[in-house]
Chains A and B, each alone.
Chain A
Amino acid sequence: MTEIEPEKHKSKDLSKRRVGIGQRAAIYWDYVGKTATQTADQGILTLAQIFGAVASKVVALFAGLMAWSIDIDFFSIRKLPVNFLKMIVAIPLASLIFISSFFLVIVGGTLSGILGFRNFGEYSAKEQFLIWFPVFALLLAMPLLLSEYSLYRLSLVATYSIAVIGLDMLFGQCGIISLGQGGFLMTSGYMTIWLVNGTFGLKLPILIAISVGALLNGFVGLALGLPALRVKDHYLVIVSLALSIVIPKVFRSPLMAPYSGMKEGGLYISTLEVPSFLGKMPPYVWKYLIVIVPAMLLVVIAYNIIHHSQIGRAFRTLKCDREISSIIGIPVVRYKLFAFMLSAIYAGFAGGFFVILNEFMSPDSFNAYSSVDYLVATAIGGPGSILGSIFGGTFLAFQPDLTKLASDHMSGGKSLAQAVYGALLVITVLFAPRGIVGELTGRLKSKLTGLPRRGNFQMAPPPDYDWLNEKKQHFEMN
């Protein structure tokens, strides 16, 4: 343990100093990422901080509402004439969206509570609401703002993010590498199509079909993890790689060809109708909502599992050291299996979303190379953080565009661009082991608070723990 200089350390005693705006922001920031004991030590938020947090979110929302009059495309922003009539419709709609996003947070938190995780962890429903609310409200308001194509891209980002979050549960949290994400996406995609089309005589509504597909995927993960995870983590890499090679081959084989639509080049989803109670909602908005709402719930649940439950703490302990985790009483194999199941379930949901978005699945949709892509996205974005995973998902969603840009401008640009992604991965691991997002937030946080940055695998001492002073007192007493 390196010594902490007393000078630097004193500045952290926030109660004795006047705090400026930067420090105030730092307190809020610190609060967002703080553990329960630290919260208890430093007392609750002051009213001013809550006000500041709410105010900033309200400003963000109004900015979003203003943006409603502008048709934002992902690459070109062009202004449209402001339509006042539309504005009048938009305000009650926006308030409806606010309320529904509130319920989303409540439902997500309660769901994770029911599933056995501590209800909302260290944050109450209100506090989590403050964090999630603006994001959710903006996402739900997006059909008012964006064109059909942009909505498709946004839901693609959500889909990839869910798949990457699933891998992050395993790789970022527990430190286990898996190359099976492509295989899992394909199995659940086909299961969703079969259940919606009624290929095997069972016809289910789309959302239930996705959930059933994802849960079945979880059991596939359990069946594979049971032999592989008992021994060494290297075995899981091999087994999962073999899985993502074997699954497309199985669907391509003559045995499965009638069910996988191999002869027609792929299987199409038969019906994707807007329910009648939604009136004249355009199908593309329905597709967007049916992807984005479960995706938001999944993010809330993942957040609660990772940051606010015994499971998340066990995962992080596992990542530090397997032997020590076992000594302090964590059932290591059980938690590793659980992580693998979770990752398979999240991949399953992502596969279902893919089927909704593209209305199509073929044995060529995913292969071993696409599984590698998910790992690259996780490592680049930031293993161990939800924000990093969403960054990785965004990267994956826009990767084809970047590649196309490169291949348009030079011959062989496609492979060169993909080689650059690989190089990016190597550089990230060498120089920023916490990923791009993890490194940036870490730097920002240490700049704001003056605390030392946390390394990849080490934990920093509690920020208000005064090592030197305690030692001095110890000597004075004796």
Chain B
Amino acid sequence: MDTFNYYFALVFDGVAYGCIYGLFALTFVALFRANKIFNFAQTEVATLGVVLMLLLLKHMSFWSAMILTILASFAFGVLLHVTIMRFLTERRRGSHLSETIVTIGLFVIFNNISSYLIGDETQPFPSPFGSDVLSLFGVPVSKQSLGIIVASLLMTGCIFLVFRFTKLGLKFEAIAENADAARLRGIRVSNLLAVAWGITIMAGVFAALLIAPIQYVSPAMLISFFSYSLIAVVIGGLESPLGAIVGGIIVGVVDNLAANVSFIGSELRFLVIFALLLLVLLVRPRGLWGRAEARRV
């Protein structure tokens, strides 16, 4: 029973981390479907959101600071699209190079702004869930992990409901399918893309706020999440939201199990994920849920 509890706890924590990877991967996929670009600055914007909340906490209570941060991040995503990305994506000339490079530039900018705001030392972050251990059907699980899983699944569910059952979601689907045709049908593509940016940035900040109590706040707190969630995107399939979530959970569980095998350890666990990435690319390049598309060159 003891070993079972041990491994169950490992898997459970892995699922908790995996939900965060999946949430980030979902934001990558959602934006890629709508706008056909990867926002490589996603995790760094999320770090900036955590830093903002840390600064706000000095002046107000936890929940009001959280709500304010979430709202601010939505506005920030809209602002990003309106001020910078719109000019790139709407004059597209057959190449995605400049957009990707700009998001990498934003990565550098936001990373350094958050290091300017809080310095390079790690800082603690208050947890809404507490740190004690709960007994679930006789198996001890940490309240923190349970809270992360529930909250991120709720967020995913909200995003799913919005995209599946509202008119807004239908319009996004139209844009993802064919932006030009959608524009001809009277959909305001640019405005909706701004909303898509707002939603994805908001979801990213939400995920970062969930993980901040475990990870502690520092400018580099999300760098591993950045790569893990991108790998989750590849494993799940480039355009599949479900694949992103499942890929994130696979990555999280494998990573957490590998870290506790004695000969792999905490440094080589990334090598296991790297091998997994190469394996998926070799065996099933389009990912688990990816659409088989016409052969591209």
- A contact residues vs B (CB 8 Å cutoff): 171, 175, 177, 179, 224, 227-228, 230-232, 234-235, 237-239, 241-243, 245-246, 249-250, 252-255, 319-323, 325-326, 332-333, 368-369, 372, 375-376, 379, 412, 415-416, 418-419, 421-423, 425-426, 429-430, 433, 456-457
Contacts and interface: CB of A to CB of B under 8 A. Distances in A.
Given A368-B223, A423-B105, 14 more contacts: A175-B95, A175-B97, A231-B286, A242-B277, A249-B268, A253-B265, A255-B263, A416-B116, A422-B105, A422-B106, A422-B112, A425-B104, A430-B102, A456-B93
A246 B107 contact: no
A246 B264 CA distance: 13
A429 B101 contact: yes
Contacts of B274: 242-243, 246
A224 B97 CA distance: 21
B162 interface: no
Given A231-B286, A426-B109, A322 B102 contact: no
Contacts of A243: 274
Classify chain B's interface size: 35 or more
A227 B107 contact: no
Which 7 residue pairs are nearest across A and B when measured between Cβ atoms? A422-B108, A425-B105, A422-B109, A253-B267, A227-B281, A419-B112, A415-B116
Contacts of B281: 227-228, 230-231, 235, 239
Interface string B106-131: 11110111011001000000000000
Interface stretch (B136-144, B208-216, B226-234): B226-234
Given A368-B223, A372-B108, A250 B94 contact: no
Nearest to B283: A227
A230 B108 contact: no
Given A239-B281, A375-B104, A433 B271 contact: no
Contact of A429 (B38, B98, B116, B119): B98
B297 interface: yes
B101 A425 contact: yes
Contacts of A419: 108-109, 112-113, 116
29 contacts: A171-B97, A177-B101, A227-B285, A228-B281, A235-B281, A237-B38, A238-B227, A238-B277, A239-B277, A242-B231, A242-B270, A245-B224, A249-B267, A249-B268, A250-B267, A253-B268, A322-B296, A376-B104, A415-B115, A415-B116, A419-B109, A419-B112, A422-B105, A422-B111, A426-B105, A429-B101, A429-B102, A430-B88, A430-B98
A457 B91 CA distance: 13
B282 interface: yes
A59 to B, nearest CB: 40
A224 B88 CA distance: 30
B238 interface: yes
B8 interface: no
A415 B113 contact: yes
Nearest to A175: B97
A418 B271 contact: no
B265 A254 contact: yes
B230 A415 contact: no
Contacts of A234: 38, 238
A80 to B, nearest CB: 41
A425 B297 CA distance: 29
A254 B115 CA distance: 30
A421 B268 contact: no
Contacts of B100: 177, 237
Contacts of B223: 245, 368-369
Contacts of A375: 101, 104
B151 interface: no
Contacts of A231: 281, 285-286, 296
B267 A252 contact: yes
B71 interface: no
A241 B101 contact: no
Nearest to A375: B104
Contact of B84 (A227, A416, A426, A457): A426
B76 to A, nearest CB: 16
Contacts of B87: 430
Contacts of A415: 112-113, 115-116, 219
A457 B94 contact: yes
B72 interface: no
A258 to B, nearest CB: 14
Nearest to B114: A415
Contact of A430 (B84, B116, B297): B84
Contacts of B97: 171, 175, 177
B278 interface: yes
Contacts of A430: 84, 87-88, 98, 102
A422 B40 CA distance: 13
Interface string B252-287: 000000000001010110110110011001100110
Contact of A241 (B230, B238, B263): B230
B108 A227 contact: no
B268 A250 contact: yes
Contacts of A242: 227, 230-231, 270, 273-274, 277
A446 B94 CA distance: 25
A48 to B, nearest CB: 41
A374 to B, nearest CB: 11
Contacts of A228: 281
A315 to B, nearest CB: 14
Among A228, A237, A246, A368, chain B packs the most CB atoms within 10 A around the CB of A246
Contacts of A412: 116, 119
Contact of A323 (B38, B104, B105, B297): B297
